[in-house]
Amino acid sequence: QVQLVESGGGSAQAGGSLTLSCTASGYTYSRDCMGWFRQVSGKERELVANIYTGHVTYYTDSVKGRFTISQDNAKNTVYLQMNSLKPEDTAMYYCAADSFCSAVPAGFLYWGQGTQVTVS
């Protein structure tokens, strides 16, 4: 079992930056892949980025060059550094974990509670 807790959400101006954090606890065998998803009301939850075994990364096209996913294994924490924020980045952001990476929410077993990001 894995428990995930997100933090760092809030409000930012367009062009600004925010950093999200996700701290994992519990059974560690099912968190080799850590991912960030986002969702707005009335739309599907979409993959933003994921990281496998701490160094293999993937980004959706809309955030490439602006967002960076990283992992601090000593602190059991994954980060999402978001730069050059746009209003369309506004969403609830969720941290997810599982043994292997997937591009769809159904591929992740463990989820955090979400943290709101608002860009204006």
Burial of 47: CB neighbours in 10 Å, binned 0-12, 13-18, 19+: buried
Mean pLDDT by 10 residues, the chain (120 residues): 94 98 83 95 97 94 98 89 98 96 94 97
Q: Helix, strand or coil for residue 105?
A: helix
pLDDT for position 42: 94
Judged by phi (left if over 0) then psi (alpha if -120 to 50, else beta), residue 113 lies in alpha
Q: Look at the block and give the residue holding tokens 């609830």.
A: 92
In whole angstroms, give the CA distance from residue 55 to residue 32.
Answer: 10
For residues 71 and 78, what is the distance between their CA atoms, to the nearest angstrom? Answer: 4
What residues have CB less than 8 Å from 86, skipping those under 6 apart?
A: 14, 119
